[in-house]
Structure 1
Amino acid sequence: MGTALIALGGNVGDPAVTMQQALSWLDHHPRLQVVAVSRVFSTVPVGTYAGGGFVNAAARLATDLPPLDVLDLLQEAEQRAGRERTLHWGPRTLDLDLIGYDDLVLSHPRLQIPHPACWYRRFVLDPLAEVASDWQHPVLQLSVAELLDRLRPRPLPITLDLPGILQQELQSALSTAFPGQLKICEPGEQSALSLTTKASACVRAIPVDPASSAAALVELVRAALDEPRPLP
């Protein structure tokens, strides 16, 4: 049996109940078993149109299904929960992401494993650490616990390697949005993450479209700075 790691989230209706119902439905599949589930965490919304606060969790599954079949099941569970895909980073009843599958590295038009943004998103890492802290990111060669520890320091050291005007706009926007929470590193300094438009960037960088707005990039950093809180 393989091990699949999934992230769960939502901010419409009663997401905690919706997530539990989805996990129960998945657990009844003859070729999939829910092995461990994290606590439910309160997290900040990420994205201009995300809506109100989110709740997030993670689960470890045992399955002999191939990754794309697991993805199909996750999307079916989302549909059963009334998920509507109208806005990118919009409000949602249920969001299920396949974060990792054993030590597999997969690039497919429908699915990338490991999830390309899992390594810097606190709303993924904090719950995931409760069910798979030792799982090692097969590209970064760091465990979930190690990835999480990299994001804990305050101010958080980050590197910006962007075209001139975008760099200036983002530095100003970050200072306004997160006063005292970030240290902008000089080139060559060690940092927890970097944002860059360079295609040859290291694997620990967030790739940025040169046409991105500073406001959109602020939301990427927000995901790294959040400090999720377990719900009672």
Structure 2
Amino acid sequence: MSSPPSTAPTLAYLLLGSNLGNRAALLAAARQQLAATAGDVVAVSGIYETAAWGREDQPAFLNQALAVRTSLRPEALLAACQAAEQHAGRQRLEHWGSRTLDVDVLLFGAEIVDTPTLVVPHPRLPARRFALVPLAEIAGALPHPQLHETIETLLLRCSDSLPVRLWPG
């Protein structure tokens, strides 16, 4: 059973990540698929090369933030994100392991969602520089719905010291 569409579009923020295969091509394919299934992609950050977080003994990631104007409800947006991951050949073999594509729902308007399958705002967003840097590029002045601080402020206070560099590719 699919979720009914919301009455008005919501601006949601997603984070794409890949550290296996042709990372840039996988991000590009995910952007296209999400534009076709999730809503209008209205902002796209640069692509950043980032050290792996959680399990650092793996290849570096390419990460990119998207703003998507969507009429989907949060769970349906998550399903669209997971479909993009499956299309890219994502296999969930180990927690925080290498992957062809990861798509996280970081924010869904000002909504707070807490279900068994989805928590938004993403609970680890304030602690992850690899998510905050690209998100701040496209939504730095946006307030976090629970912490009531801007994304830029969260980035300035983030204690994560793993490198995040604009990818020259």
Same fold per TM (> 0.5)? yes
In structure 2, give the amino acid aligned to 1:118: L
* Matched ranges for 1:1-232 at <5 A: 1-29=9-37, 32-48=39-55, 51-151=58-158, 224-232=160-168
Counterpart CA distance in 2 for 1:50 and 1:143 is: 32
Deviation per residue, 1:77-111 (Å, 9 max, x gap)? 00000000001010000000000011111110000
Distance in 1 separating the partners of 2:56 and 2:147: 31
Equivalent AA in structure 2 for residue 92 of structure 1: R
In the alignment, the residues of structure 2 paired with residue 134 and residue 20 of structure 1 have an alpha-carbon distance, to the nearest angstrom, of 26
Q: Where does structure 1 differ by over 2 angstroms across 4 or more consecutive aligned residues? A: 47-50
Aligned to 1:28, the other structure's residue is in SS state helix
2:125 is paired with a residue whose SS is coil
Q: Matched residue of 1:225: which SS?
A: coil
The answer to whether the 8 A contact 1:22-1:77 is kept is yes
CA contact (8 A) 1:9 1:55 kept: yes
What CA distance in whole angstroms lies between the structure 2 residues aligned with 1:49 and 1:126?
A: 19
Deviation of the 1:45 alpha carbon:
1.2
Amino acid at match of 1:226: L
Residue correspondences, number: 160
Gaps of 5+ in 1: 157-223
Post-superposition offset of 1:49: 6.6
Larger radius of gyration: 1
> The residue matched to 2:127 in structure 1 has which SS?
coil
Q: CA deviation at 1:227?
A: 3.1
Higher relative contact order (CA 8 A, sep 6+): 2
Q: Counterpart in 2 of 1:175?
A: none
What secondary structure is seen at the aligned counterpart in 1 of 2:104? strand
In the alignment, residue 106 of structure 1 is paired with which amino acid?
V
**Residue 229 of structure 1, CA deviation:** 0.4
Tell me if structure 2 keeps the 8 A contact 1:5–1:59. Answer: yes
Which segments of 5 or more consecutive residues in structure 2 lack a partner in the other structure? 1-8
Two-structure CA RMSD over aligned residues (Å): 1.3
* C-alpha distance in 1 between matches for 2:157 and 2:54: 23
| Residue aligned with 2:75, SS | helix
Distance in 2 separating the partners of 1:14 and 1:24? 16
| Equivalence for 1:165 | none
Q: % of aligned pairs identical?
A: 38
- TM, length-normalised to structure 2: 0.90
